[in-house]
């Protein structure tokens, strides 16, 4: 179990995550593909773009929501996977019904594409490259990107599951943080009252008959009449 853990972590910059950057590449490729190769008015255009968008947006939302809800983070990561698999089927359907080839895993073209997609996470690279490619090639590039993103998402979900088992959710983290704060302040308070001589907080005199403990009230040696504020011990 981690100690002194910040229960509201702020290291949630989803834009630097490999899975998000991969999902962004998928969206850009899909946006171009759907508008370039599907007929205007085809409902599949909106469906594919929406699935690609969901795969990206849910990852961002889940990362932010995960600050206060691990359950929501896991849920949205799985919704992300579901959206990408829906998109995967659309690409596979496109190739199959048009008699185009979906590259096999050991196909040299597929191997080359996997290596390229693994090395490049900048969506601008894909926006430039796909303009020179056929619909079959672009569909296979998108399929490769989807599979790689899915692997990253599965790894994220497994990490979140393991982290939840080890550290619990936000309630447990808040309880630990509160308990640690109280423990530290109790130690500081005990040291401040006990001083360096170890009197366990007992009142001590400074020679004037008055306690030196700062939390004890100081009683005047010569009480003042609340009605007549003059010192009653002095002659009039």
pLDDT level of residue 77 (50, 70, 90 thresholds): confident
The token pair at 167 is 């550290």
Residue whose pair of structure tokens reads 């002095």 in the numeric block: 234
According to the model, what pLDDT value does residue 161 have?
Answer: 83
The boundaries of the domain holding residue 125 are 14-178
| Number of domains composing the chain | 1
Global pTM reads 0.68
Closest CA to 89 of 81, 18, 59, 69: 81
In a domain, 184, yes or no: no
In a domain, 186, yes or no: no
Rounded to whole angstroms, the Cα distance separating 47 from 52 reads 9
In a domain, 57, yes or no: yes
In a domain, 149, yes or no: yes
In a domain, 131, yes or no: yes
Per-residue pLDDT tens over the stretch 156-208: 889 888 877 777 666 666 667 677 777 888 877 665 555 444 444 444 445 55
Higher pLDDT, 236 or 29: 29
pLDDT level of residue 2 (50, 70, 90 thresholds): very low
pLDDT level of residue 61 (50, 70, 90 thresholds): confident
Listed in sequence order, the DSSP H helices in the chain are 18-37, 43-65, 70-97, 108-119, 123-129, 135-167, 170-194
Q: Is 9 left (phi over 0), alpha (psi -120 to 50) or beta?
A: beta
According to the model, what pLDDT value does residue 202 have?
Answer: 46
In a domain, 4, yes or no: no
In a domain, 148, yes or no: yes
Rounded to whole angstroms, the Cα distance separating 70 from 57 reads 17
Per-residue pLDDT tens over the stretch 108-147: 999 999 999 999 999 999 999 999 999 999 999 999 999 9
Four-residue CA torsion sign, 195, 201, 202, 205: positive
Q: What is the mean pLDDT of the chain?
A: 80
According to the model, what pLDDT value does residue 20 have?
Answer: 93
Q: Residue 146: exposed, middle, or buried by beta-carbon count in 10 A (0-12, 13-18, 19+)?
A: buried
In a domain, 62, yes or no: yes
């Amino acid at each position: 179990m981690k100690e002194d853990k910040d229960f509201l972590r702020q290291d949630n910059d989803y834009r630097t995550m490999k899975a998000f950057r991969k999902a962004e590449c998928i969206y850009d490729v899909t946006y171009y593909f759907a508008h370039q190769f599907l007929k205007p008015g085809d409902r599949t255009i909106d469906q594919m773009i929406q699935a690609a968008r969901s795969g990206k947006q849910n990852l961002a939302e889940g990362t932010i929501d995960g600050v206060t809800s691990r359950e929501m983070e896991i849920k949205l990561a799985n919704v992300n996977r579901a959206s990408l698999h829906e998109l995967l089927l659309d690409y596979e359907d496109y190739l199959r019904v048009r008699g185009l080839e979906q590259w096999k895993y050991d196909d040299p073209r597929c191997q080359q594409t996997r290596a390229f997609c693994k090395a490049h996470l900048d969506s601008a690279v894909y926006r430039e490259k796909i303009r020179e490619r056929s619909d079959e090639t672009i569909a296979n590039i998108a399929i490769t990107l989807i599979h790689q993103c899915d692997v990253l998402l599965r790894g994220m979900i497994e990490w979140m599951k393991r982290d939840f088992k080890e550290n619990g959710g936000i309630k447990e983290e808040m309880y630990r943080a509160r308990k640690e704060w109280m423990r530290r302040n109790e130690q500081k308070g005990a040291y401040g009252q006990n001083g360096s001589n170890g009197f366990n907080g007992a009142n001590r005199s400074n020679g004037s008959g008055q306690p030196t403990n700062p939390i004890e009230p100081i009683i005047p040696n010569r009480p003042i009449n609340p009605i007549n504020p003059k010192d009653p011990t002095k002659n009039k």
